[in-house]
A and B are shown apart, each in its own frame.
Chain A
Amino acid sequence: MAEIILKNLSKRFGTVEVIKSLDLTIADREFFTFVGPSGCGKSTVLNLIAGLEDVTEGTVVFDGKVINELSPGARDVAMVFQSYALYPHMNVFENIAFPLRVRKEKQATITSEVNRIAGLLGIGDQIKKVPRELSGGQRQRVALGRAMIRRPKVFLMDEPLSNLDARLRVGMRTELKKLHRELGITIVYVTHDQEEAMSLSDKVAVLLEGRVEQCAVPIELYERPANIFVAGFMGSPAMNFIKGSVTSEEPFRVGPGRLTVEPKIKISSKRPVGTEVVIGMRPEDVEVSKAPLDGGYEALCDVVEPAGPFQWVEFTPEGLEGKRIKGKAPVEESINPGERVFFSPAWDRVHLFDADNEKRIF
């Protein structure tokens, strides 16, 4: 039960400014994710919320109370770490019981609580084992249990799934989402994996070099990225970018040379002819075929990657030598590298960015 507000939050290590005046509100019971490439400061934000690092400037507010000066233990937060950070010398029971022991709870309470949590997480029969005897997934559960047992106001998670193998990671993702619904608490999550961020979160903040590039619900990040960085970071495979310029205002057309695009989208602020722009299109919005497509362009196929239900095709558009674009073709199309193909972007799903400030144009 906690709303977290970060006001003008800054963190400097020496002269290096890791977090640059962050302003964010994390709503009560929200699954909020910080995502960004390594070194963007996402773990530091988490440590500032937890109280593991001192704030240089600004405030951290929990439910209307400034908690800058509170020690981590007094903030009523629980944290799950990437390496799980279990206590190697204690068995599973003692690991989960540890926060209660520190609080000097009664033994009877501890026993019943630990057993309840262990049962909930499906590690009831592992309770006597020590961490080194557990698999990665089981250690992850113990770490979750240790965090859950305190019934904290806020759950902080620092890349909790990235040490697991791919299959387990997807499974635990579903479980985390379920857990969030059942516990009904605020979760602040940190990851470098945009897919994880999209699938788990209610809201995502994309961080770059200590600044929030965009903070929105996942679908908005995907459909209306605020700038080139967010557009390129969210979504896999990454968005295709083509440099171009405005060729005509009415109808609004952009393009490099022959590849002229007429975005069928509402443009609030049209740009004069000659303005440098960057056209962005997601690979899944680019249709590729061996047969000529209506309104399509010619290209030369470079690479084909089968992906099961469809295949990714990387190609070089005619007249844009040296530029590679990725698109999607049905499995039935037998396309081979070196062959002539046709591609057609979905015009209503094309993104336009200002080439100077890299911001979204419409």
Chain B
Amino acid sequence: MKVSTDKILKRWGILALLALVTLYCLGPFIWQLLTSLKAGVDLTRLPPLLPPAPTSENYVAVFEEHPFLRIIMNSLVVATSSTVLSLFVGSLAAFSLAKLPIRGKAVFLAFVLSVSMFPPISTVSPLYLIIRTLGLRDTVWALIMTYTTFTLPLTIWILTNFFRQIPHEIYLAARVDGCTRFQIFYKIFIPLAAPGIFATAILVFIFSWNEFLFALTFTSTVNSRTIPVGIALFPGIHEVPWGEIAAASVVVTVPIIALVFVFQKRIVEGLTMGALKG
């Protein structure tokens, strides 16, 4: 019976480890959630860990005392537009790099990668000047342009690899079947690379949703302010509204989680399709 006790121990050990990792990852979010439900002095007291009198007043305050709905809309517009633009340009570039006879592909890919190596802080001043010259200061366009540019290398690299995995004979077959190169791109390659496209979309969307530095620099009013900046500007002169900050954070995290879950299903579907060998 010694073997089975060993097995049980092993199983419990693994479970404990999993619980620990989960707690480590979810901990901050749970803390945030608990904080958002506390009010007044409870906010700064521990114990109790759980809110003694759960309240929704922080959530109400977020929307009533701040233009938070507008800020969320700004973020949605910026993140969605950046994702669409980045994927549109990036997938076309990736298709060309993966399948068309172009000279200097490797050099181009290396160049694209090198662009993403500049730390944002080093580009923020020149970018600010460019955006001021273009008259785009304090508009969502300033952010959409910046985010599209900064996410393009990632998009191009991921999608180039995905397109390369599609057998060349499928490309040739479509050519013989009478497709133009662009038709091959959207009729065959986009559907086949769907898992990669969804994965990239999530990454780009989350980047645009969370980005703080450029958003802080290029926006000045609620016209174009996005969520991370909006929340950072909650604190007043006399107090830091921890409850409201927590509530706002929870509100803006939920859509991301929903998004990931929805797309994750598609990604898993795509990966288990496994029919690329045709």
Contacts and interface: CB of A to CB of B under 8 A. Distances in A.
Interface in A95-113: 98-99, 102-103
B192 A73 contact: no
A279 B65 CA distance: 102
Interface string B82-100: 0000000000000000000
B276 A88 contact: yes
- Most chain B beta-carbon neighbours within 10 Å: one of A52, A72, A85, A102: A85
A88 B176 contact: no
Given A130-B275, A132-B274, A87 B179 contact: no
Nearest to B194: A89
A214 interface: no
B278 A131 contact: yes
Contact of B173 (A81, A103, A139): A81
Contact of A50 (B176, B275, B277, B278): B176
B169 A89 contact: no
A83 interface: yes
B105 interface: no
A206 to B, nearest CB: 25
- Most chain A beta-carbon neighbours within 10 Å: one of B174, B175, B183, B278: B278
A156 to B, nearest CB: 8
Contacts of A146: 173, 177
B172 A73 contact: no
Nearest to A102: B178
A79 B179 CA distance: 14
Interface string B136-169: 0000000000000000000000000000000101
- Most chain A beta-carbon neighbours within 10 Å: one of B170, B173, B273, B274: B173
A52 B172 CA distance: 7
A73 B184 CA distance: 12
A79 B178 CA distance: 11
Contacts of A74: 178
A52 B184 CA distance: 14
B191 interface: yes
Nearest to A143: B173
A78 B172 CA distance: 11
Given A81-B169, A82-B169, A88-B192, A72 B278 contact: no
Contacts of B178: 72-74, 99, 102-103, 150
Contacts of A86: 170, 173, 278
Contact of A87 (B183, B188, B277): B188
Contacts of B169: 81-83, 85
B176 A78 contact: yes
A88 B175 contact: no
Nearest to A74: B178
B22 to A, nearest CB: 35
- Most chain A beta-carbon neighbours within 10 Å: one of B176, B192, B275: B176
Contacts of A83: 167, 169, 277-278
A79 B278 contact: no
A81 B177 CA distance: 12
A19 B94 CA distance: 31
A84 B172 CA distance: 11
Chain A, interface residues (CB within 8 Å), range: 20 to 34
A47 B171 CA distance: 13
A102 B177 contact: yes
A81 B172 contact: yes
A216 to B, nearest CB: 29
Contacts of B172: 47, 50, 52, 79, 81, 85
Contacts of A50: 172, 176
A269 B84 CA distance: 77
A88 B179 contact: no
A85 B170 contact: yes
Contact of B179 (A78, A81, A102): A102
Interface in A57-99: 71-74, 77-79, 81-89, 98-99
A51 B179 CA distance: 13
B175 A72 contact: yes
A99 B176 CA distance: 9
Nearest to B278: A86
- Most chain A beta-carbon neighbours within 10 Å: one of B191, B192, B275: B275
B274 A77 contact: no
Contacts of A79: 172-173, 176
Given A81-B169, A83-B167, A85-B170, A99 B275 contact: no
Contacts of B167: 83, 85
Interface string A26-60: 00000000000000000000010011100000000
Contacts of B173: 79, 81, 85-87, 146
A72 B274 contact: no
B190 to A, nearest CB: 10
Identify the 7 closest CB pairs spanning chains A and B, nearest first: A73-B178, A88-B275, A132-B275, A85-B169, A85-B173, A99-B177, A79-B176
Interface of A: 47, 50-52, 71-74, 77-79, 81-89, 98-99, 102-103, 130-132, 139, 146, 150, 156
Given A85-B172, A88-B277, 16 more contacts: A50-B176, A52-B175, A52-B176, A72-B178, A74-B178, A79-B172, A82-B169, A83-B277, A88-B278, A89-B273, A98-B177, A99-B177, A102-B177, A102-B179, A131-B275, A146-B173
8 contacts: A73-B176, A83-B169, A85-B173, A88-B273, A88-B275, A88-B278, A99-B177, A132-B274
